[in-house]
């Protein structure tokens, strides 16, 4: 028995080893290519090497035993190669998913660091002002009634700004954590827009910005009144902030198909095309000359609230400035009316 093994072993090695080495070379060349292809080759190489060794040992005499052995090898190949292909596809998908997950984690971490940096800076400025004015009042540096009243008003204004930033952070945390729960009802956009325009009108007037509204129709949407008001307020205040004096901010409402369409146009001069896809990112402020006061959270919150309503929000350059478009689902009654 040992003599027979010693006799056939050189033939088996002589024929199977080169095939195995060839397969290894092919695998090496495929190491940077498709994982599915590499695993398919990995399944084929042992079978081909085994067939080569069996043929060498048999002396290429196709006896019934040899044919049976070859048939078994082919059946093994039929099973192993598709299995290797399926495994390769599964591993490739998992690898891609893991890379994308790591990329998302890195992007989220970078966004969190950027947010913390922006918020820390923006919180520090009003806090420093409040501290300085409070110390001046406490030390008696400011004693005249008019000056005291002015300092009190300024402290109140800074405190309101801080409160707004904290509210933004809380709202954003609810959105990103998936903890936002909306109570949906039929909401007339006419009421939402009129209330926001009435609140933001004095701000626009003090800056010299013309505020215009209009609607072909005033649709009723399915949504939550407070959250929709916040979306419109964030978009409108952003437009007023970036529009220069004597510029115009326009709010238009219409219905298209099964959606209500709200447009806010400003006269900011436009946004660089490279920045447009990022305007809704947390803490993104764009070019230095466009940096607003605040944490840069308004548009990110608007996007989160719109998406929570199963709507969409987009931004693009239009005319002398930018246009922000919000699409929201119409109420059932309005859908039937427009159908």
pLDDT score of 323: 93
Q: Could you tell me if residue 307 is inside a domain?
A: yes
65 with 115, same domain: the answer is no
pLDDT score of 7: 47
213 with 301, same domain: the answer is yes
60 with 86, same domain: the answer is yes
pLDDT score of 150: 86
**HEC string for the chain:** CHHHHHHHHHHHHHHHHHHHHHHHHHHHHCCCCCHHHHHHHHHHHHHHHHHHHHHHHHCCCCCHHHHHHHHHHHHHHHHHHHHHHHHHHHHHHHHHHHHHHHHHHHHHHHHHHHHHHHHHHHHHHHHHHHHHHHHHHHCCCCCCHHHHHHHHHHHHHHHHHHHHHHHHHHHHHHHHCCCCCCCCEEEEHHHHHHHHHHHHHHHHHHHCCEEEEEECCCCEEEECHHHHHHHHHHHHHHHHHHCCCCCEEEEEEEEECCEEEEEEECCCCCCCCCCHHHCCCCCCCCCHHHCCCCCCCHHHHHHHHHHHCCCEEEEEEECCEEEEEEEEEECHHHHHHHC
Instruction: Determine the length of the chain.
Output: 339
**Which residues, other chains included, contact 184 with Cβ-Cβ below 8 Å and sequence gap of 6+?**
222, 223, 224, 309
pLDDT cut 90: percent of the chain above it: 18
Of 176, 199, 232, which one is at a domain's C-terminal end? 176
Q: Could you tell me if residue 281 is inside a domain?
A: yes
Q: Which residues pair with 262 in a beta bridge?
A: 253, 326
Across 65-79, 149-163, 165-179, the highest mean pLDDT is recorded for 149-163
Express each pLDDT in 262-289 by its tens digit.
Answer: 999 999 888 888 888 888 877 666 654 4
Q: Could you tell me if residue 305 is inside a domain?
A: yes
Of 80, 99, 118, which one is at a domain's C-terminal end? 99
72 with 128, same domain: the answer is no
Residue appearing with tokens 């290797």: 84
191 with 320, same domain: the answer is yes
Round the CA-based radius of gyration of the chain to a whole number and report it: 35
88 with 137, same domain: the answer is no
Question: CATH code at 206?
Answer: 3.30.565.10
Banded model confidence at residue 34, pLDDT cuts 50, 70, 90 = low
pLDDT higher for 2 or 136? Answer: 136
pLDDT higher for 66 or 140? Answer: 140
Tokens of 14: 């002589």
157 with 44, same domain: the answer is no
Average pLDDT for 69-73? 70
Total tally of structural domains belonging to the chain: 3
Q: Would you say residue 202 has pLDDT above 50?
A: yes
Tokens of 222: 């399915």
Of 144, 176, 208, which one is at a domain's C-terminal end? 176
pLDDT score of 173: 75
Average pLDDT for 177-205? 87
* Angle, CA of 205, 206 and 211, to the nearest 5°: 25
Q: Could you tell me if residue 57 is inside a domain?
A: yes
246 with 263, same domain: the answer is yes
> pTM higher than 0.95, yes or no?
no
Banded model confidence at residue 339, pLDDT cuts 50, 70, 90 = low
Is the Cβ–Cβ distance between 174 and 180 less than 8 Å?
A: yes
Q: Would you say residue 328 has pLDDT above 90?
A: yes
Q: Could you tell me if residue 105 is inside a domain?
A: no
Inter-axis angle of helices 35-58 and 64-138, to 10 degrees?
Answer: 160
147 with 241, same domain: the answer is no
Is the Cβ–Cβ distance between 324 and 233 less than 8 Å?
A: no
Is the Cβ–Cβ distance between 253 and 262 less than 8 Å?
A: yes
Q: Distance (Å, rounded) from C-alpha 160 to C-alpha 129?
A: 13
Express each pLDDT in 36-45 by its tens digit.
Answer: 666 666 666 6
Question: CATH code at 126?
Answer: 1.10.287.130
268 with 310, same domain: the answer is yes
CA distances from 65 to 61, 190, 212, 224 (A): 10, 88, 92, 78
168 with 310, same domain: the answer is no
pLDDT score of 17: 60
pLDDT higher for 92 or 263? Answer: 263
226 with 332, same domain: the answer is yes
| 210-215 and 248-256 beta bridge pairing | parallel
Q: Could you tell me if residue 126 is inside a domain?
A: yes
Half-sphere exposure of 149 (CA within 13 A, CB side): 3
Q: Would you say residue 216 has pLDDT above 50?
A: yes
**Residue range of the domain that includes 278:** 185-338
């Amino acid at each position: 028995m040992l003599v027979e093994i010693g006799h056939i072993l050189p033939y088996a090695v002589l024929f199977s080893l080169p095939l195995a080495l060839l397969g290894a070379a092919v695998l090496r060349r495929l190491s940077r290519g498709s994982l599915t292809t590499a695993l398919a080759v990995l399944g084929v190489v042992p079978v081909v090497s085994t067939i080569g060794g069996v043929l060498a040992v048999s002396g290429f005499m196709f006896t019934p035993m040899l044919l049976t052995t070859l048939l078994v090898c082919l059946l093994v190949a039929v099973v192993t190669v598709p299995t290797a292909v399926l495994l390769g596809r599964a591993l490739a998908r998992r690898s891609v998913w893991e890379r994308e997950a790591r990329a998302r984690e890195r992007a989220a971490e970078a966004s969190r660091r950027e947010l913390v940096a922006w918020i820390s800076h923006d919180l520090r400025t009003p806090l420093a002002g409040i501290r300085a004015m409070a110390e001046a009042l406490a030390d008696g540096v400011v004693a005249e009634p008019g000056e005291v009243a002015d300092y009190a008003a300024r402290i109140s204004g800074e405190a309101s700004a801080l409160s707004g930033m904290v509210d933004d952070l809380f709202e954003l945390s609810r959105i990103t954590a998936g903890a936002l729960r909306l109570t949906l009802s039929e909401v007339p956009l006419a009421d939402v827009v009129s209330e926001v325009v009435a609140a933001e009108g004095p701000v626009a007037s003090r800056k010299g910005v013309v505020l215009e509204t209009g609607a072909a129709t005033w649709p009723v949407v399915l949504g939550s009144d407070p959250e929709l008001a916040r979306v419109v307020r964030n978009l409108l205040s952003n437009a007023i902030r970036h529009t220069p004096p004597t510029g115009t901010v326009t709010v238009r409402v219409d219905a298209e198909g099964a959606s209500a369409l709200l447009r806010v146009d400003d006269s900011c001069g436009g946004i660089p095309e490279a920045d447009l896809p990022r305007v809704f990112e947390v803490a993104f402020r764009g070019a230095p000359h466009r940096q607003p006061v605040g944490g840069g959270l308004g548009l990110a919150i608007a996007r989160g609230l719109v998406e929570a309503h199963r709507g969409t929000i987009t931004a693009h350059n239009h005319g002398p400035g930018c246009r922000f478009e919000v699409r929201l689902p119409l109420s059932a009654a309005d859908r039937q009316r427009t159908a």
